[in-house]
Amino acid sequence: MEQQNFNFETAAEKLENVKREIAKAFIGQKQLVDHALITLIAGGHLLVEGVPGLGKTLLIRALAKAIGGESKRVQFTPDLMPADITGNIMLDTVSGKFVTRKGPVFANLFIADEINRAPAKTQAALFEAMQEFQVTLDGESHRLPCPFMVLATQNPFEHEGTYPLPDAQMDRFLMKIIAEYPGMEDEKTMVTQVLAGDTGAELSISNVNTALVTEEFTAIKNLASSLRLDPLIIDYAVRITSATRNTQAVEAGAGPRGSLALIRCARGRAILQGRDFVLPDDVKALAVDVLAHRLTLSAESELEGLNSRRIIENLLSKTEAPKGIRNE
């Protein structure tokens, strides 16, 4: 498809088709689906926290198939080595030459399942991929596919045998969202659909069709640069982020990357809704998921049972949103 004919309305229609295809395998949790798409449009990475069995891996596999991409999954464990993710240079005993073996990170969507079960050196193997969209093997840089996104999962309740993600890595995730239990109707639909399948054990992505090719998705991503962005929107995002650094409940607030992430995600939300302009509501709707994981709470806050999501919600209520944003 020629990019000059790829307008915002067409992009929204294409993305709706993607969501319809995903819904064939991943039932309910529409906000999680929207946030995964927004993250991918914004060229970022997503951290999903939730108990096992909520379909987090199924979602990303369905998303990859719907956009005509490839997904690969790695189960993070304490003995996982960096080379198990990035690949390595190895000697081919037949030819006697060194050859490059690319790791599973060379995919459109890389699933890091239970990322906090691997030690810091293994987690650090993703730093370059997440920031530079490339991997260096034996001094040679290899570009990752486009689009590329890391979707990492972690269980909030299982702390034994886990390694907390360092702040530097947390900051590289564009958003962190909480996967909730499905509603009763969604769960009944899921159970019915599973029992009607071939094995009756789990949902599959066999019925998911490709709604657009990766080149079309790249064209949708490129639309973000042409979105109309009022300076007041930028001011609003920066004021929210700055407020996290000026509250006693927080020991270390979000840095400038938080402000940038807010705008990037707001653009993605606007495209998802078929608009060529960003609204204050786009920033407000995503602020908790974009900023909460970037905060380091004070000891007093933790003793009082406060959490970072509640603190962001409180700051949002005190930060005045701009009025009179025009969409012409």
Q: What is the DSSP secondary structure assignment for residue 89, as one 8-state letter?
A: E
pLDDT digits (tens, 9 = 90+) for 10-36: 889 999 999 999 888 888 788 888 998
pLDDT digits (tens, 9 = 90+) for 82-93: 999 999 888 777
* Six token digits for residue 149: 């996104």
Does the pLDDT of residue 262 top 70, yes or no? yes
Assign 99 to helix, strand or coil. Answer: strand
**CA distance readout (Å), 302 to 50, 250, 289, 305, 306:** 20, 10, 19, 5, 6
Assign 137 to helix, strand or coil. Answer: strand
pLDDT digits (tens, 9 = 90+) for 224-235: 888 889 999 999
Residue 269 burial by CB count (10 A; 0-12/13-18/19+): exposed, middle or buried? buried
Does the pLDDT of residue 37 top 60, yes or no? yes
Residue 285 has a pLDDT of 95
Angstrom distance (rounded) from CA 263 to CA 242: 14
Q: pLDDT band at residue 287, thresholds of 50, 70 and 90?
A: very high
Angstrom distance (rounded) from CA 249 to CA 251: 7
**In the sheet that 109-113 helps form, which strands lie side by side, from edge to edge?**
71-75, 109-113, 149-154, 46-49, 175-178
CATH topology of domain 3-226: Rossmann fold (3.40.50)
Mean pLDDT (whole number) for 302-322: 88
| Ramachandran class of 62: left when φ > 0, alpha when ψ lies in -120 to 50, beta otherwise | alpha
CATH number 1.10.8.80 is the correct assignment for the domain at 227-328 = yes
Mean pLDDT (whole number) for 132-146: 89
Angstrom distance (rounded) from CA 226 to CA 101: 38
Q: Domains of the chain: which residue ranges?
A: 3-226, 227-328
Q: pLDDT band at residue 67, thresholds of 50, 70 and 90?
A: confident
Query: Mean pLDDT for the chain?
Result: 85
